[in-house]
Structure 1
Amino acid sequence: MNTMFGQARMLHVAPRSNPIGGVGVPPAIDPSIGGMEKPAPACASISGNSSDEGIAKRDARPTVGEVYSKTPRMTVRNLDVDFGAKRAIENVTLDIGTTEVTAIIGPSGCGKSTFLRSLNRMNDTIDGCRVSGEIRLDGEDIYARSVDVVEVRARVGMVFQKPNPFPKSIFDNVIYAPRIHGMAPDKATAEEIVQTSLEKAGLWKEVKDRLTQPGTALSGGQQQRLCIARAISVRPEVILMDEPCSALDPIATARIEELIDELRENYAIVIVTHSMQQAARVSQRTAYFHLGDLIEMGETRQIFTDPRHKLTGDYITGRFG
């Protein structure tokens, strides 16, 4: 599978020894520093190693619509996510299509962000979280014991609600993770990665003459595009966005939405949003979650003009949520 800088990497590596997580549990990445490793917690989720004992289970509502993609980049099958005795996600099955934007919508507390964080094992960093089911990236089980979590999070990048540039220069913000992953062995390669990433994030022309200035000195919209450049600098195949415009003004939001449409030519994108207008503008497919269940999924136009489930229709028309 081709990526921006070459062939996709394999996820499977020799298991690492971890004094906290146990032998064979890969280390987690601190998401705030884009690649620095820290020990995984003892409860780090491993596929096939969770138990339903003590979980308050319920019958998941069947999903209506079309959950499968003809060209899937990621596949999710029978996903459950538990936090202690609380089940947050119940038996979710869907595909994330290649070169398309999938919007995740639903009321607060319905499991949108929990689902998103499952796609690159960010939930591993939360004590008491257990994940069961199967999530595959290009056919590889990302929860397999032999998988390198560092590599998972490089191939499935994430952009958060609020821009969070490092207290470093613009250049160092972008090249930080590639250096950790050994992708920038010399100055010329580093400069190429930085320029390419900033160009793809639509920021190069605005900052090319001030790469040594702090990333925190940029405007809010520019900071979020810098964070997107940072995410794509390590050649991801999927980009996860958790309400990326919630802290931005309308002009900056419009620029991010334009960028999302441009990026989908090269990446599968999953965006969580509370704005149904935004979901309608930027996505090709939409999934509606309610109380941890995937209620409906289908083409965005169909979801917003002819929802097949009453709960979907009630949410879209503002009857609740």
Structure 2
Amino acid sequence: MGAVTLKDVAERAGVSIKTVSNVVRNAPRVSDATRVRVLEAVGELGYRPNASARRLRTGRSGLIALAVPDLTTPYFAELAHHVAREASGRGFTVLIEETRGDAREELRLATGVGASLLDGVILSPLRVSPADLAPVADEFPLVLLGERSYGGEQVVADHVLIDNVAAAREVTAHLASLGRTRIGAIGVDEQGSATSRQRLTGFQQALYEAGLRYDPRLAAQVGEFDRPNGLAAMRTLLQLPGGVRPDAVFCFSDMLAVGAQRALHEAGLDIPGDVAVAGVDGSAEGLYSTPSLTSVVPDQASIAAMAVSCLATRIGSEDPLPYEVRTAPHRLAVRESTDGVRRPLPS
């Protein structure tokens, strides 16, 4: 028996080949009843889409990749969820790649190695810079996520980001508004990532605007934005003399903040009574921690929609298009770790 075709599925379901194609590609404008009938026929016949044939027919595979540094981080896991949903609505299948922040792996994906299968890549880089990407940026559909400060640098790809300087300034100003005067920062990156630099800039700006002095002793360096680094950094800050030790900390990620909260608990200190804690990411882990974590919440659904839209436009165009830098919204969610006010969790 030969391979099952779209025609076979169409005949079994009693619909057109075009309708079967739309269902297989998860395209919109197909009724639920028709979609169920087609999917039942697909299952009964054991139909499997032939990506190679599709590539020959259309020049595209329908596959895109999302490449992020660390899938164990809740932020990137949640982002992958939103990207997959958005891409599915446009008929794409998403492959997930984990770069571990390795510059060579980031560059490999950005330059389209594996492009015989992929139509394009959404990449959240930690180490490669716009200068690294400039020589190859026009060769392969690419959208960048995360923080980049272009300044005088060339914009080499579509880019979706949040305003990290503004976000860090807002959360630090919140801590200062509570009367905290020794505000520390956890997340100064030893390798100087753009995310860390921008959040440190916003932190320093807010201190200046609040009439507070930036004390480098209160700016703890980390190797990664994870729980163990947050734990170690907070322990280091707690070893500072009493007159220096922070009464609040802004952590450059929720995972750093969760680690910092653990260190404070071990030391028998009250949050926020002794030390207020805030983070960035708006993760579910921070929402359900005890106390719940004040955090900057990026609009991940908007980030995903912007990124997939940019990539789809570039994949679908044969003409060179100007690169776009889009800024997604964010909000500050004030919770128990800074104001001590108990709030009911969403049911």
TM over 0.5: same fold? no
Q: Give the TM-score normalised by structure 1.
A: 0.26
Q: Which has the larger Rg?
A: 2
Q: Give the TM-score normalised by structure 2.
A: 0.25
Structure with a larger share of its residues in helix:
2
